[in-house]
């Protein structure tokens, strides 16, 4: 990395029709029952992706204390969110599926089968590791993979997100973002051909090139131990074209809207992105005169870039985060060593913000 710090995937944005309904499902099945913030406001900085107009929305950022990235569950409140204009298939351009980590693949699949969820058979990736696909009630695809990387034991079968499968048109070009900027610098596999484990997916019988990436060096930063290890899998259709999942739609419409990284050193990141040909397309500093962007219960500085196919990558430099809101305990992260992880006991205090059904 180039003197900025990527601490991990902070969250993945999911556009939904109803925040409460979707969040309830994710709590019950992926254990994301810790509320970092919930806020109703106007999205005024995302004009390039919202038709040039501020849009009112309701959003909640949720995490699972066992570890992994959170979900930013996002709902328009003054317009009806649009679904993709075509059947989304494996290899379409954008965030196709989110990786969810679990403790036991078979036991987790059996649990989801008992709950009558739509799941694939257990299959093996090119490295021989077992996993399965799950489709949530809202049409979003998840890949449930085995993990031994946990922050704490909260007696749940899964953690939350640990990466994503992203459709791209040219993997070599996309590596400039995912490897050179985001630090996924280790290739786990790079294979081509028909992928038997993709047979469950719409369009999964195509001829693919797929590359699985992870970061060689453990991430640093305040919440790096909670976010844990993550992977990005890039998939490219060989010999045919795919559509862009968000073509003709707004950021915040239905589906996976962005991949968000927790980081420190926004100014240095801005310079690095520009030098590589991926300038910020949104920068909250432009609208806050250099001050923190207030998200109600949290605050920070955020920006966006696009990968070569227009998939949105968000960066958040967190300045303030609620730990124990009932006691008025908000943690200021601006005056601490940005490389140092927070003590476990502080991070574990977030469990007192658990939402119980």
pLDDT of the residue at 239: 78
> pLDDT over 70 for what percent of the chain?
93
Beta carbons of 243 and 93 less than 8 angstroms apart = yes
What tokens does 174 get?
Answer: 């996309």
pLDDT at 293 over 60: no
pTM: 0.94
Instruction: Give the length of the chain.
Output: 357
SS3 (DSSP) at 27: helix
Residue 350, pLDDT > 80, answer: yes
Residue 44: its pLDDT value, please?
A: 86
165 vs 134: CA distance, rounded Å: 13
Q: Are 80 and 254 in contact (CB under 8 A)?
A: no
Q: For residues 142, 148, 151 and 155, what is the CA-based torsion angle, rounded to 10 degrees?
A: 80
8 A C-beta contact, residue 64 and residue 82: no
As a whole number of Å, the CA-based R_g of the chain is: 19
The pLDDT of residue 268 is above 60: yes
Assess whether pLDDT exceeds 70 at residue 214.
yes
Asked if residues 208 and 125 have their Cβ atoms less than 8 Å apart, the reply is no
Q: In what helix (H) or strand (E) does residue 259 lie, and over which residues does it extend?
A: strand 255-264
Which of 238-252, 295-309, 322-336 has the least mean pLDDT?
A: 322-336
List, in order of start, the domains of the chain with CATH numbers: 5-353 (3.10.180.10)
* Dist CA 302 CA 127 (whole Å): 36
Asked if pLDDT for residue 327 goes beyond 60, the answer is no
The CB density around residue 272, as the number of other CB atoms within 10 Å, is 17
The string of pLDDT tens digits covering residues 37-67 is: 888 888 888 999 999 999 999 999 999 999 9
| pLDDT band at 1; cut points 50, 70, 90 | very low
Strand 299-306 and strand 70-76: the pairing is unpaired
Q: Are 227 and 251 in contact (CB under 8 A)?
A: no
Q: What does the mean pLDDT of the chain come to?
A: 92
Q: Which two tokens stand for residue 110?
A: 């059996």
Q: Which of 184-193, 196-205, 273-282, 334-343 has the lowest mean pLDDT?
A: 334-343
According to DSSP, the β-strands at 5-15 and 255-264 are antiparallel
Which of 256, 188, 187, 262 is CA-nearest to residue 227? 262
Q: What is the pLDDT of residues 134-159, one digit of tens each?
A: 999 999 999 999 999 999 999 999 99
Task: Give residue 329's pLDDT.
Answer: 63
Q: What is the DSSP letter of 53?
A: S
């Amino acid at each position: 990395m180039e003197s900025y710090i990527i601490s991990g995937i902070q969250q993945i944005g999911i556009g939904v029709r109803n925040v409460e309904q979707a969040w309830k499902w994710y709590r019950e099945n992926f254990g994301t029952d810790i509320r970092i913030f919930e806020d109703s406001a106007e999205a005024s900085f995302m004009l390039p992706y919202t038709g040039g107009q501020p849009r009112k929305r309701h959003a909640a950022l949720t995490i699972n204390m066992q570890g992994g990235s959170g979900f930013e569950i996002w709902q328009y409140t003054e317009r009806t969110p649009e679904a993709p204009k075509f059947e989304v298939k494996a290899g379409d351009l954008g965030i196709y599926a989110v990786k969810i980590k679990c403790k036991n693949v078979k036991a987790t699949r059996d649990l989801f089968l008992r709950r009558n969820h739509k799941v694939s058979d257990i299959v093996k990736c090119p490295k021989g590791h077992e996993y399965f696909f799950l489709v949530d009630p809202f049409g979003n695809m998840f890949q449930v993979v085995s993990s031994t990387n946990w922050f704490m034991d909260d007696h749940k079968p899964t953690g939350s997100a640990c990466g994503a499968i992203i459709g791209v048109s040219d993997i070599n070009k996309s590596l400039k973002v995912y490897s050179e900027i985001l630090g996924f610098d280790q290739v786990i596999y790079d294979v081509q051909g028909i992928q038997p484990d993709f047979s469950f997916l719409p369009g999964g019988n195509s001829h693919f090139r797929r590359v699985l990436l992870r970061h060689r060096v453990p991430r640093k930063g305040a919440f790096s131990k909670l976010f844990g290890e993550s992977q990005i899998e890039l998939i490219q259709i060989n010999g045919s074209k795919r559509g862009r999942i968000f073509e003709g739609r707004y950021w915040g419409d239905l589906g996976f809207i962005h991949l968000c990284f927790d980081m420190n050193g926004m100014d240095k990141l801005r310079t690095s992105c520009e030098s590589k040909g991926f300038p910020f397309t949104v920068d909250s500093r432009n609208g806050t005169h250099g001050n923190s962007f207030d998200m109600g219960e949290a605050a920070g500085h955020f920006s966006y870039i696009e990968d070569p196919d227009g998939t949105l990558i968000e960066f958040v430099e967190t300045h303030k985060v609620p730990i124990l809101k009932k006691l008025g305990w908000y943690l200021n992260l601006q005056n601490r060593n940005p490389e140092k992880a927070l003590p476990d006991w502080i991070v574990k205090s977030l469990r007192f913000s658990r939402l119980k059904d």
